[in-house]
Amino acid sequence: MSRDSVQPPRAVPWSPPWRRAAVFVALAALLGAVLTVLDSAKAGADPVGAGSYTTTAPGPLPSGCADLSTDPRHWVTANAPSGAVPTNDWWSSILWKRTNCAYGEPLFAQPLGFRAGSEGLGVSYSTRPTVSGSGKGVGEYHFEYKEDFVAGVSGLAAPEVKVDGWSDWTVSPYLSDGAHTLRATIGSGLPFAYFRATGGDARIKAASGATVDVWSHSGSTLGYSVDGHDYVAFAPAGATWSVSGSTFTSSLAGKDYFSVAVLPTTPSTSAADRTALADAYAEYAHDPVTGTAVSYRYDEAKSTVTTTYRFTTDALEGSATGTVAALLPHQWRHLSDGSPLPQTYVSSRGPLKVLTGVTSFTTTMDFHGVLPEIPAVADSSGADAATLRDYLNAEKADPTRQVSDDTYWTGKGLGRAARLAEIADQTGDTEVRDAALSAIKSKLTDWFTASPGKTGRLFYYDGEWGTLIGYPASYGSDQELNDHHFHYGYYIAAAATLARFDPTWADADHYGGMVDLLIRDADNYDRTDERFPFLRDFDIYAGHDWASGHGSFAAGNNQESSSEGMNFDNALIQWGIATGNKAVRDAGIYMYTTQAAAIEDYWFDVHDQVYPEGFQHKGVGMVWSNGGAYSTWFSSAPEQIQGINLLPVTGGHLYLGDNPAHVRANYQEMLDQAGRTQPGIWPDIWYEYRALGDGDAALADFRAHSSLTSEEGESKAHTFHWIRNLAALGTVDTGVGADSPLSAVFVKSGERTYVAANTTATDSTVHFSDGTAVRVPAGKTVTAGAYTWSGGSAPGGTSPTPTPTPTETASPSPSPTPSPTGGTGSSPTLYPDEDGTLTGTAGPAGSVTVASADGVNHDGTPYKPTTFTATGLDLGYVDGQTRFDLAVDAQNAVANGPQAQVSYDCTGDGTWDRVETYRYFATDPVTGWEHYTDRAGTSSTTGTACDLRNGTVRVKVWNAIGSAPTVLGTGERSVLRLPYS
């Protein structure tokens, strides 16, 4: 749920007011920290570094049907896991009852739905959605709970349901009347429901009035249909089922277990195929799932996220292991292993594909990167620059400009200020940057400090509920534990921006520990930390967040603003990188990548496979457990129904532009639904979104309507900066990845711009998957390709240095290497210099001329070569091959073909022990740098590799064909990487 003129850069390190008089500040900080600890103790608060939280509740606490404010484990049995109870899950309503105080609301697990009652656990397989609403601005669909049968125990009359256990995507409801018990294990993606029963016969009772057909009755297995849905009930070996009308019972042969599975059949499924499916499922009927767990791995080099979903099973009889799993679209689209059955289940999330006999399955997804902010590649002079400067200056007095003092609106204000700080830093406006950073630091420090007598702007930790609540609360963030990821994502993102410029503030001894508590509260990434539930807001199997803490609705749980959920995930990535915490970074990348895939299917249905026939919209404002709705909690305006899944607009929301055609279609639907030619509400959000699909059109819209009123978390400075630069960059290009999380690629008119940011204190080089390398100094954002630009300031306070925009259209940037230590250096990474040497340090960008081939074919034979040499090299050969990236430009010459040869003299005796000649590279007749790399492949190789001991390496570059010279980039423009160390 949600509401949702430039000052010259300083030539000295940034020194905001709080960093002046360093000695005095350090002493004052030390004294302040001591006093904070003492004051916190008096206030009933716990210190966390220099910050603190209170342990005395200043406001309302979570509440439900029972006295949950003091006993959240009221409906938890003694067998359940220790630690904080889960909330914000698909099954939360039976743990935290808000309306039906005995049994909770329906639970939608996909493909099955469940509802507890006095006689047992009701089961539903809904295949016919209800689609309601017509016309503009309305519409929703639901696969409603329609009970097919109740699985229970003869004589059971349980007064309430409790929770006997849970794992990452399963739960075990428990029903007892003292004489009879039923324990079930159900889970997301499980076609099976597993039961343990005592005190009577197992009983399956079809719903009153249902059409029931028993199609297989043989020993311990019973095949039956209820209203056309095919099920199989499995009793232990040696047991039988008795059929009496629409009620089936079994003594279970003196044992206590049975299971029921729904089959992925349709009315057109043949009897033979149905029987074959029943036989296939039977193999796993008595191998119940006892636990589930997710693990994930981010491969930085490949920019992929590998997620493994594991099932623990317990074979009660037979030798089979594994279970049956129904995969959601965001999973089967990225499945790395296993072959699904041809049959699929119907669900509110589209078709579910089935794996049998699995103990685990794995998905692999591409992570496309995030940015602190869109780079300022557009012209830094002229009228637009003056306009941006004026917009920035207008924010200097109040960068946060929040509308309320609660956690949500404070967060929105912090997010607003963070965007201003990033833009001002890029453009060299240090006064606005410092004002925004000062406002962020002041507000965060205030909220992260619990002082005596303070009842607002602080956080309270409740050890019973395992949660951190900010007061003043809003939108049920206190009594219902709603929206914590929405609210706290803004805080964490703003802290990540502040950490770049004031790393001391962000360290664990100061306020970093409080940021970490906010992260752990919303989505605890550490399984061993029982203070908070593991990944509270994130539904591991569904692939996205849930906003409601209790989930007590007839339609299950819900989430409105998927984009604010992604804001939290992006915040973790930015904070983790800025503070060097890879566990936080990787948790953010896992949730971000997974949720982006889920949003694509469930909020936007870009593949047109999820929404049922009759639902006419291209997206939903809210996803429910059993469907979706073109609506919000707060507005019926199409601009806000669709727009709530677009804000906030940040460098972490580029996923919204992964499909530019969908952006354009979604924008047009909003106008059609609103009956307008321009958005009447949140026009800035919509123009920013439109820019991801058509930047030029969005910029024209903004220029024509620049008197708009900004959305509460936005500013005209950010809106103009975003649109203006996207109009230059083009649209997101997901076809190229990078080995850095802070990266992106854009394309316009076939020309790519590569963007990489570095928020750490160490220089780096980012390698893109198409071979482009971009060198990124500490604290900078750098682009290469169609636009070559650099801006930003180093971490810890170095002020930005403006960089003039070069005229060339591409600029390969090699990896930084240590300075040479002898001869021309013993570095395996070398750079060609204009003086003909290869050096271990990248010099300034320059160029030399490679002579024409004079119209003769010199393929394979150097002709008038330009030569670069390194001597005195002491390096050991490692397995691999020579790599190079040479910047070449034939300008307007047609049919030139530069060629390279790399030679190794292992001992410096004048004999070339190995010579590698590479195929020539056909240049284009367009002015601008191109990349000639080792990917061209070798045309010939002689000799063998050997260690270099006072060795020599030589590179010759010549034109193999052509009638004109070619320009070759030197210094940092070109690089040679030897397979040596």
Residue 633 DSSP label: S
pLDDT at 812: 31
Give yes or no for residue 3 having a pLDDT over 70: no
pLDDT, the chain, mean? 91
Residue 835 has pLDDT above 90, yes or no: no
Q: What pLDDT shows up at residue 137? A: 62
616: tokens are: 């006419």
- Residue 927, pLDDT score: 81
Q: What is the pLDDT of residues 278-320, one digit of tens each?
A: 999 999 999 999 999 999 999 999 999 999 999 999 999 988 8
State the pLDDT at residue 363. Answer: 98
- pLDDT (mean) for 350-376: 98
| Residue 331 pLDDT | 98
Active-site positions read: 483, 560, 564
The C-alpha atoms of residue 715 and residue 701 are separated, in whole angstroms, by 16
Contact 47, 452 (CB under 8 A): no
pLDDT at residue 574, as a whole number: 98
How do beta strands 120-124 and 113-117 pair?
antiparallel
Strand partners, 747: 731, 752
Can you give the pLDDT at residue 479? 95
Count of all residues that appear for the chain in the document: 981
Helix axes 512-523, 562-579, angle to 10 degrees: 140
Question: Buried b vs exposed e over 694-713: b needs ≥16 C-beta within 10 Å?
Answer: bbebbbebbeeeeebebbbb
pLDDT score of 4 more than 80: no
φ/ψ bin of 781: left (φ > 0), alpha (ψ from -120 to 50), beta (otherwise): beta
Burial of 832 (0-12, 13-18, 19+ CB in 10 A): buried
Question: Tell me, what's the pLDDT at 878?
Answer: 82
* pLDDT(42) > 50: no
d(CA 359, CA 954) in angstroms, rounded, equals: 55
Query: Residue 796 — very low, low, confident or very high, per pLDDT cuts 50/70/90?
Result: low
Choose from 803-807, 915-919, 932-936 the range with maximum mean pLDDT: 915-919
pLDDT digits (tens, 9 = 90+) for 485-537: 999 999 999 999 999 999 999 999 999 999 999 999 999 999 999 999 999 99
| Tens of pLDDT, residues 873-900 | 988 888 778 989 899 999 878 779 899 9
Q: Is the pLDDT of residue 791 over 90?
A: yes
Measure the CA–CA gap between 553 and 558, rounded to whole angstroms: 9
The whole-angstrom distance between residue 492's C-alpha and the CA centroid of its chain comes to 15
CA dihedral over 761, 575, 400, 504, signed as positive or negative: negative
Q: Given this model, what pLDDT does residue 895 score? A: 79
Contact 566, 595 (CB under 8 A): yes
Contacts of residue 27, Cβ cutoff 8 Å, sequence gap at least 6: none
At 320, list the tokens.
């089979």
Query: In which band, very low, low, confident or very high, does the pLDDT at 855 lie, cut at 50, 70 and 90?
Result: confident
The Cα-based distances of 962 to 538, 658, 856, 863 in angstroms read: 60, 41, 7, 12
Quickly state the pLDDT bin for 827 (edges 50, 70, 90): confident
> Distance (Å, rounded) from C-alpha 754 to C-alpha 752?
6
Determine the residue type at 32: G
Model confidence pLDDT, tens digit, residues 614-662: 998 999 999 999 999 999 999 999 999 999 999 999 999 999 999 999 9
What would the pLDDT profile of 895-911 be if each residue is shown by its tens digit? 798 999 999 999 988 89
The H or E element that residue 717 is part of is: helix 716-729
Which helix (H) or strand (E) element contains residue 884?
strand 883-889
